[in-house]
């Protein structure tokens, strides 16, 4: 339960250099219901308001911690950093913006962090985006990390779990950022060729080039409550069309009603829900294929070898072509 501290020191003119003992100075207040939480309370509740279930923004590493549910995980490719091939500069240089974004985050060097972890006892490769890093924008490093994560998952025979939170492609990298849309789709093809599942969780917001590429291609797609999921945000569309959009435009619940996602899942329930899906899809180890499956394979092989040698009328009957002429 959150504690409320009331003081009249400010009215008396007394300075307060630090918060009172026992009350964290790093708390946050829910923008929906006004409930205040200490930092440790938010971490314990996966940064979800316990009063109204509002989902606070979360960093990539906080999301990975929540998925691992207290378990350890390791992050590869932490040395990858964005270059500046276009020497882009507007009010501030691109390199300066990247340096400031890295300083503000919890150690993430980019908008995507990758980890090998266990979700409810099931090993997986997870990739989580951080909206706090330049709006979670997708540049060359994000595309490279996602491609490597897909390759690592395919080589290891593990599923891939991707959590998105992004405004789209990173404009400071121009066409190089837009190329990552195609590259991320090709990365998912690696998983498809290996017959391994990709589970996508759409956080707030998931827009632009990220939604128009890999975020929309999961085998199983979940979304957090209230997440904005659209190619363009409502403000951009309203300014362009001069029309008022409904309040629920692009929200996760609307996308569920339109069949774009499979379920809206509370962040606190994600590890259990994803773990249950992985338990269903996980390949059995050390077990032979069921007899019915073996029989079906044998019949298919026999048909493939025998049909070309049969008379046309008999072959058509086996195929079920009732309209065949002798």
Q: Note the pLDDT of residue 164.
A: 98
DSSP structure string for 232-288: S-HHHHHHHH--PPPTTTTBHHHHHHTTSSSEE--GGGHHHHHHHHHHHHSPPSS-P
Rg (CA), the chain: 25
Single pTM value for the model:
0.78
Domain with CATH 3.90.226.10 in the chain: 57-281
Give pLDDT, residue 21.
36
CA separation for the pair 314, 326 (Å, rounded): 9
Q: What is the pLDDT of residue 220?
A: 97
Q: Partners of 198 in the beta sheet?
A: 160
Position 205 pLDDT exceeds 60: yes
CATH of span 57-281:
3.90.226.10
Distance CA 86, CA 178 (A): 14
Angle at 229 between CA 228 and CA 230, to 5 degrees: 115
When the pLDDT of each residue in the chain is averaged and rounded to a whole number, the result is 85
Average the pLDDT over each of 15-24, 153-162, 236-245 and give the range with the smallest value.
15-24
How many whole angstroms separate alpha carbon 205 and alpha carbon 36? 23
Closest alpha carbon to 230 in 209, 245, 200: 209
Coil vs helix vs strand at 138 = strand
pLDDT given for residue 24 in this prediction: 42
281: confidence class by pLDDT, cuts 50, 70, 90: confident
Instruction: Specify the DSSP element, H or E, that contains 220.
Output: strand 220-223
Token pair 């990858």 is found at 80
pLDDT score of 17: 44
Residue 22 has pLDDT above 50, yes or no: no
b/e 259-284 (16+ beta carbons within 10 angstroms → b) = ebbbebbebeebbebbbebbeeeeee
Q: For residues 302 and 80, which has the higher predicted lDDT (pLDDT)?
A: 80
Using pLDDT thresholds of 50, 70 and 90, give the confidence band for residue 8: very low
Residue 279: pLDDT over 70? yes
pLDDT for position 43: 87
SS3 229: strand
Is the pLDDT reported for residue 285 higher than 90?
Answer: no
- State CA 276 to chain mean position distance: 17
């Amino acid at each position: 339960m959150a504690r409320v501290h009331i003081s009249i020191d400010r009215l008396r003119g007394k300075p307060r250099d630090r918060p009172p003992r026992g009350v964290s100075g790093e708390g946050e207040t829910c923008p929906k219901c006004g409930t205040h939480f200490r930092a440790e309370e938010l971490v314990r509740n996966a940064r979800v308001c316990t009063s109204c279930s509002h989902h606070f923004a979360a960093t990539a590493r906080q999301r990975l911690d929540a998925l691992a549910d207290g378990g350890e995980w390791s992050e590869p490719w932490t040395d990858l950093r964005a270059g500046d091939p276009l020497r882009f500069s507007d009010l501030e240089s691109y390199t300066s913006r990247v340096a400031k974004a890295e300083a503000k985050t919890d150690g993430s060097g980019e908008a995507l962090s990758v980890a090998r972890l266990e979700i409810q006892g099931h090993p997986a490769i997870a990739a989580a985006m951080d909206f706090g890093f330049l709006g979670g924008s997708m540049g060359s490093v994000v595309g490279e990390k996602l491609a490597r994560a897909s390759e690592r998952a395919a080589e290891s025979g593990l599923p891939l779990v991707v959590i998105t939170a992004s405004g789209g492609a990173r404009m400071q990298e121009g066409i190089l950022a837009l190329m990552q849309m195609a590259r991320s789709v090709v990365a998912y093809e690696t998983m498809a060729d290996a017959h391994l599942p990709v589970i996508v969780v759409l956080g707030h917001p998931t827009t632009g080039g990220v939604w128009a590429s890999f975020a929309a291609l999961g085998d199983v797609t979940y979304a957090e409550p209230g997440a904005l999921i659209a190619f363009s945000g409502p403000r951009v569309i309203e300014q362009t069309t001069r029309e008022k959009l409904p309040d629920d435009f692009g929200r996760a619940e609307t996308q569920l009603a339109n069949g774009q996602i499979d379920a809206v899942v509370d962040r606190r329930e994600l590890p259990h829900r994803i773990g249950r899906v992985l338990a269903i899809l996980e390949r059995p180890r050390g077990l032979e294929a069921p007899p019915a499956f073996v029989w079906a394979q044998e019949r298919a092989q026999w048909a493939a070898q025998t049909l070309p040698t049969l008379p046309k009328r008999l072959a058509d009957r086996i195929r079920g072509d009732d309209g065949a002429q002798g």
